[in-house]
């Protein structure tokens, strides 16, 4: 199924009946990865998993978006279902978008509660060595972008990006690279205290992308939050330990 929101096609799956749960996936992912969670909640809830713009079957944004713009289009998409009350579940980047949605915006629907799974949003502490590496990298790109160097080494900047950048960055289109850069360089920590909604945090203790310490920070700063840890699970905790994850969800949502 699909909807057109602000000229952007968004593909989604809609399963079950009851209070609606909207599922927002992480960077580089797609709605199908949520199938185990959808299967868990759909006997009691309406589960709507959708591809964020730029992923899966949805259109790419027409320009570089920051997280606020992703939040804006998600709000419009959710509102198009005419649900008065919704639950929001987000993994990684999807959690980052939910933090933006829930932190003080006037919404056309009520959020009953939030579930954040290995969520992004906490800026890692970076020392002097990191700043030096980044500065050196940017200076090198600037030099290689001058006309004489571009003529001698036309692919040098792109090759450096592929070598030095993350896998997500290397795989992204130019527009999505810009979106990713804006996202990872924004610290959402100051927004957490503005989120009044009951929030369940689910975290894999072995998550190397958004470490457990991020979940512990969110638990401290969110006014109404609890943290459930899944021992040994990584960044995709519901796939690494589906039995424990499902048990947590079933208990929390009383399924």
The Cα 169–Cα 28 span in angstroms is: 9
pLDDT digits (tens, 9 = 90+) for 24-50: 999 999 999 999 999 999 999 999 999
Decide if pLDDT at 181 tops 80: yes
Decide if pLDDT at 143 tops 90: no
Structure tokens at 142: 């600037």
Q: What is the pLDDT of residue 166?
A: 61
Q: Write 220-227 long-range contacts (CB < 8 A, 24+).
A: 221/189, 221/192, 221/193, 222/192, 222/193, 222/195, 223/193, 223/195, 223/196, 224/196, 224/197, 224/198, 224/199, 225/198, 225/199, 225/200, 225/201, 226/199, 226/200, 226/201, 227/201, 227/202, 227/203
pLDDT digits (tens, 9 = 90+) for 60-118: 999 999 999 999 999 999 999 999 999 999 999 999 999 999 999 999 999 999 999 99
The Cα 53–Cα 144 span in angstroms is: 32
Mean pLDDT of the chain: 90
**β-bridge mates for residue 230, sequence order:** 204
Q: Which residue has the tokens 């959808």?
A: 38
Q: What is the pLDDT of residue 159?
A: 60
Q: What is the pLDDT of residue 134?
A: 39
Decide if pLDDT at 164 tops 60: no
Q: What is the pLDDT of residue 209?
A: 96
Q: Is 227 exposed, middle or buried (0-12, 13-18, 19+ CB in 10 A)?
A: middle
Q: What is the pLDDT of residue 153?
A: 59
| Phi, psi (rounded to 5 degrees) for 167 | -60, -40
Q: What is the enclosing helix (H) or strand (E) of 136? A: helix 128-144
The Cα 80–Cα 154 span in angstroms is: 46
Q: What is the pLDDT of residue 121?
A: 98
Pairing of strands 46-50, 20-24: parallel
């Amino acid at each position: 199924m699909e909807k057109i929101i602000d000229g952007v096609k968004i593909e989604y799956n809609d399963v079950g009946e009851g209070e609606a749960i909207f599922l927002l996936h992480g960077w580089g992912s797609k709605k199908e990865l949520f199938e185990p969670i959808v299967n868990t909640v759909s006997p009691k809830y309406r589960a709507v998993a959708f591809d964020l713009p730029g992923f899966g079957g949805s259109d790419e944004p027409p320009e570089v978006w920051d997280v606020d713009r992703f939040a804006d289009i998600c709000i419009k998409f959710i509102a198009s279902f005419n649900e008065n009350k919704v639950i929001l579940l987000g993994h990684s980047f999807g959690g980052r978008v939910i933090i933006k949605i829930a932190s003080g915006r006037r919404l056309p629907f009520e959020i009953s509660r939030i579930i954040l799974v290995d969520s992004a949003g906490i800026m890692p502490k970076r020392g002097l060595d990191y700043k030096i590496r980044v500065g050196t990298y940017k200076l090198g790109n600037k030099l290689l972008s001058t006309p004489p160097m571009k003529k001698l080494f036309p692919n040098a900047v792109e090759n450096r990006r592929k070598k030095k950048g993350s896998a997500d960055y290397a795989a992204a289109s130019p527009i999505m690279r810009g979106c990713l850069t804006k996202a990872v360089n924004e610290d959402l920590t100051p927004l957490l205290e503005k989120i009044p909604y009951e929030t369940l945090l689910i975290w894999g203790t072995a998550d190397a992308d958004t470490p457990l310490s991020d979940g512990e920070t969110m638990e401290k700063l969110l006014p109404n939050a609890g943290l459930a840890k899944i021992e040994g699970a990584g960044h995709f905790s519901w796939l690494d330990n589906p039995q424990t994850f499902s048990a947590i969800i079933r208990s929390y949502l009383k399924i």
